[in-house]
Structures are given as structure tokens and as C-alpha cells.
Amino acid sequence: MKIGVDCDGVLTNLSAYIFVRGEHYFGHKAIDTGAYNVSDIFQCSKKEEFRFWLRYFFPYCKNCLPRAGAVETLRKLHSDGHKLYEITARMFVTEKNLLGWYSRRVFLGWIRQHGFRFEDIYYCAEKRAPEDKLAGCRKYSVDLMIDDKPDVALYLADQGIKVLLFDTLYNQGIEHQNIVRVRDWDDIEKRITDVEQNTALIEQGEVKPGPEADSMEQYPLKKTEKDMKAYRRFMACSKKLWRMEVSGLENVRPGVKYIFCPNHESYLDGLWIIGSLDEETMRATCAFTADYLFEYKIFHRGLVLLGGIPVHRGGNTAPAIKCAQMCLASGEHHLLLHPEGTRTRNGRLGSFKQGAAKLSIETGVSIIPVCIDGAYEIFPPHRKLPRLFDWKHFCRYPLKIRFGTPVLPSGKTAEEITSDIRKQIISMKQS
């Protein structure tokens, strides 16, 4: 397979470098952590941004360390026979003068220093990054491109090129059928292996089932009495550690099945939301969960409590959707599904997908929008464990869960239903 690889933001963590150096240079922390350019991140002028890069550009080019796993993953891909091409847009590298020559030399020195091996390097102008990278991809006939910039990813995807989009704060909300979001270099290796295997099976005329399709009959995972006792203990601890406030439960009518659609702020959202319901509803509720979590024993109890249904994000989701349809059609289960598809990386509400609305239309099951507020402050994406106490204000963190009014599917399009869900969640967040 021929793979194009960007450098800044993919081989390196450019935004982390900017946050650290910018705080020292400007004298304050980043203002907009979801922005890409220095002028937007630190709310400074373009002139000040230029001065910042005059001071830090070449130190970054020479000294910035590769992302964890980047060197090892690319070496393994190379040894497995993949052809790797560096296709990068960077300041000065396309200029035909002494500065351009020096920039290219520094870049080559950094590549060699860290042991990266590429078949060739294609330099792109920053101002024409989408167009130049497309030219690079076509020159080498790449099968997929690994990038981080949202405008580049969308431009390449629109031209039919598969993109692995490195998950960052500044590219949230980017969606396309040719774009798959990846968390780190281990995830990149797994996705490339999936693509390679899928391509081989297609060439052989075989059908590739999703990795979760082998035995979907066992899903959703069933909760035993022992699991319910563990769930009650978890909720009791949560109420002691954080100031939990639950409202709107009167909208969840006994005996009626629902699709619960909450915003997504942390890993614990689903557990807190389902745990806020009465015990009968708790037992009957299942949830879509990322398939890779099922590979780790440490997550098993949590997945059982959620009534987990593994979904291959960015891959074959058909088995998971079919399983959810059967659960809802049986009249025995509720379903929890995050319309955003992934956790927020900056605390703000992301774009909503229409999957929940389509399920609602197909099954006739009403949707209850759910707003969770405070989970991002407790357990943001960059933390391995949740915060237990707000030492700055010397109080427990507040955690609010609000259940909205049911959204009926009859006579509405998926787009209208999705819009209604989002409006309710925004309204509940602001109240």
C-alpha cells in the first residue's frame, strides 16, 4: 500500500509546542485551544504571529520530538512492505532561495535524526496546502493520506482520497465518507491493517464482515444482579464525589421504550446517564460503544453496565446498527446513542450525525434528548483519571443531567429530528 504522511501535527504534536512556547512568549495561556493558527490561539495580530515564528520556527524544526509511536509504527509499516511518502506543507520549504534551501536541509536532518524512512519527500506551499498535497498524492498514487488539517482532509476526501485524520482540538466536527478519525499511532497501524485486509478480501471476491460482526448474537451485553449491585455502588460513589443533579425524569414514561441521545463530554457520560434512571430502565438500556474498548479487560465491567454494543467507528457499522434495530424492534430495550459520535475535545458541542434519527424513523421509537453538563470539567479527554475535587474553588465539581421532552419520529425527516435534538440540548445547557 502507498501511504502519504504529513509532518507537522502528525509526526509531531505542533499544537502542544505552540501552547507551551506561546504561553512563554505572550505571557498568558492559550485563549482558544480549538484554533490552529497562533493568532487565533492567543488572540494576537498577524504581525505578532510572524514575530513568534521568527523566534521559534527553526528551534521547532530542529528540536521538536516525534509523537509517541510514530517512529515505531512507520518502521513496522515499512518492514511490512508499505511504501511511505512524506507530503508536507511547511514555511519556506518551496522557496527557491537560501532560506528555502536551509529549511529543506533542516527538515531532512530531522527526518534522518529520528530514523524515519520515506521513499520520497514532496514539499508543499502553506498557502496552497490542499492543492499541493493533492498533487503529491496523485504523483505517488497514494492509497491513503495521514493528515491533521481540516481543510486539507476535506479537500483530499472530496477528490476521492482516503484520509486518516489525526484527532486534534482544531479539527473537530470534520466528517466525510472518505475520512476516518484516528487517536494515535497505534490506532493508525490498526486502521491501515484493516484497510489492507479489506482490500485483499475484496480483490478475492470475498465479503469482509466488520470486526464486531463475528458473533453479534451475544450483544448487547447482559447485566446480572452482581453487575447491578456494582452499578448502584458506582452511582453512590459518584453522588458523594460530585454534586450530581438529575432532572426531567418525568419525561421518561414507564413501559415506553426510548432512544436516549446525550451530548458527549467524557468516558463516564453513558454510565452516569443510565445510572440516573430507575432500575428497570437501567437493566433494559444498551449503548453503542467503540469496538476497540472490548479489547481491554479493564473496560469489561463498564461495558457490561452500559449494555455495550461494539461499533466499528470509521469502518463497517452495519452489524452494530442491525443489532440496535433488533433490540428496539423487540420492545425489550432502550438505546443510548451519542449523536456527536465522539467526545468533545474542547468542551463545546460538536456536530450531530443523523444515525439516531434514522433509527428512530425505522423503528418508530421516540428520542429523548439528554444534556450532561460538567462532565468535561471532571474528566476531559487529556486526563487518564477523573478529577475528584475542585481545589481552586474548594468544592465538589457540579454534574447536571437533564432529560428533555420526547422527539416523535412520525412525519419528520432525519435532518429535522436531529435539529430538534440539538436545539433541546443547547436549551438545556443554557438553562
Summarize pLDDT for 404-425 with one digit per residue, the tens. 999 999 999 999 999 999 999 9
What is the pLDDT, as a whole number, of residue 218? 82
CA distance 277 to 284: 10
- CATH 3.40.50.1000 residue ranges for the chain: 2-203
What is the pLDDT, as a whole number, of residue 202? 34
What is the pLDDT, as a whole number, of residue 208? 41
Confidence of residue 144 (pLDDT cuts 50, 70, 90): very high
Residue 185 has pLDDT above 70, yes or no: yes
Find the mean pLDDT for residues 327-349.
Answer: 89
Residue 213 has pLDDT above 50, yes or no: no
pLDDT tens across 241-281, in order? Answer: 999 999 999 999 998 999 999 999 999 999 999 999 999 99
Cell of 420: 430538534
What is the pLDDT, as a whole number, of residue 390? 93
Find the mean pLDDT for residues 368-389.
Answer: 93
Confidence of residue 57 (pLDDT cuts 50, 70, 90): very high
**Comparing 57-71, 184-198, 218-232, 296-310, which segment has the lowest mean pLDDT?**
184-198
10 Å Cβ neighbour count for 203? 8
- Looking at the domain that runs over 2-203, which CATH code has it been given? 3.40.50.1000
Confidence of residue 313 (pLDDT cuts 50, 70, 90): low
CA distance 16 to 258: 41
**Range 266-283 burial, b when 16+ CB lie within 10 A, else e:** bbbbbbbbbbbbeeebbb
- Its pTM stands at 0.57
Confidence of residue 204 (pLDDT cuts 50, 70, 90): very low
Residue 348 has pLDDT above 50, yes or no: yes
Confidence of residue 200 (pLDDT cuts 50, 70, 90): very low
- CATH 3.40.1130.10 residue ranges for the chain: 216-430
Find the mean pLDDT for residues 387-412.
Answer: 95
Find the mean pLDDT for residues 46-74.
Answer: 94
CA distance 109 to 103: 10
- Mean of per-residue pLDDT scores for the chain: 89
Find the mean pLDDT for residues 38-59.
Answer: 94
Nearest to 182 by CA among 139, 377, 193, 295: 193
Helix (H) or strand (E) holding 77: helix 70-79
What is the pLDDT, as a whole number, of residue 259? 96
Residue 178 has pLDDT above 90, yes or no: no
Q: Between β-strands 366-373 and 398-403, what pairing exists: parallel, antiparallel or unpaired?
A: antiparallel
CA distance 287 to 335: 5
For domain 216-430, give the fold: Glycerol-3-phosphate (1)-acyltransferase (3.40.1130)
Residue 143 has pLDDT above 50, yes or no: yes
Beta strands (DSSP E) in 263-350 are: 285-290, 308-311, 334-336
**Comparing 123-137, 148-162, 229-243, 338-352, which segment has the lowest mean pLDDT?**
338-352
CA distance 360 to 409: 6
Confidence of residue 205 (pLDDT cuts 50, 70, 90): very low
What is the pLDDT, as a whole number, of residue 317? 74
**Comparing 129-133, 177-181, 281-285, which segment has the lowest mean pLDDT?**
177-181
Residue 173 has pLDDT above 80, yes or no: no
